[in-house]
Amino acid sequence: MLEQPMLDVQATYVPSVIYRPILPSDLDVLEQIHAKLFPIRYEREFFLNVVNGHGIVSWAAVDIGLNSQSDELIGFVTTRVIAAHDSEIEDLLTSDASRKDATLVYILTLGVVERYRNHGIAGSLVREVTKYASSMTNCRAVYLHVIAYNQPAINFYQKMQFKLIRKLHKFYYIKGRHYDAYLFVYYVNGGRSPCSPLDVLSTAATYIKGLLKLLATKLWKKAEKKSPRWSKCKESSTLLLTQNKRIIGSDNTICQCV
């Protein structure tokens, strides 16, 4: 995914914005905006899939104007729902989150027309995505890529509570040059990284438990060495299993050799 830097452009016009799915009537404008905002060229098939909802879930930010008569596309976000086990971030999910029916939402493109920036439109579009992901009980995360030189976009996603997980070397190839990318993840519905604080605490608790068990075993063996070799016989009507051997008397008395 690529995002245009969000510049500090002073705007005097305050738009009346609504959010809706991208429609077939948005096709030409959507294609034009992508061409202006992004350094890579998207095929016509991509836009047809977006406007017709073929494997892509999208939201449009639309300025309806002062009289609610116009319907101008000023921003958009496009996403795809994929199976967690087919994704590149399966290793970044806990075993529960990467189960067979778990899904993820991948943000393909996000953009806002320059003169409409600094009105919170990009944030609202991303919130539509995270809300949608949260509504699917089997969805565990929203994720995306940001080209490494796009610092405004990096700052934006960190502000939106996305976690910067890893750097991908030479992820993009644009106009004959390679560019690194950053992978961002926003966990939903209990999805989390295997290295989340909860998992760290769980691992620490398991380690301490094992340590205490080992210590208890050592203390027991130490006390055992100090005790008489033959323990006092106890009468019992039940046959007890022992580590080494058992001696059974005619009166069903069992003496255990420990």
Secondary structure in 3-state letters for the chain: CCCCCCCCCCCCCCCCEEEECCCHHHHHHHHHHHHHHCCCCCCHHHHHHHHHCCCCEEEEEEECCCCCCCCEEEEEEEEEEEEHHHCCCHHHCCCCCCCCCCEEEEEEEEEECHHHCCCCHHHHHHHHHHHHHHHCCCEEEEEEEEECCCHHHHHHHHHCCCEEEEEEEEEEEECCEEEEEEEEEEECCCCCCCCCHHHHHHHHHHHHHHHHHHHHHHHHHHHHHHCCCECCCEECCCCCCCCCEEEECCCCEEEEEC
pLDDT tens digits, 13-61 = 777 899 999 999 999 999 999 999 998 889 999 999 999 999 999 999 9
Domain covering 17-195: architecture: 3-Layer(aba) Sandwich (3.40)
Rounded to two decimals, the pTM is 0.69
The listed range with the strongest mean pLDDT (107-121, 182-196, 240-254) is 107-121
pLDDT tens digits, 64-84 = 876 656 788 999 999 999 999
pLDDT for the residue 196: 47
Which residue intervals of the chain bear CATH 3.40.630.30? Answer: 17-195
pLDDT tens digits, 77-131 = 999 999 998 888 888 887 555 467 899 999 999 999 999 999 999 999 999 999 9
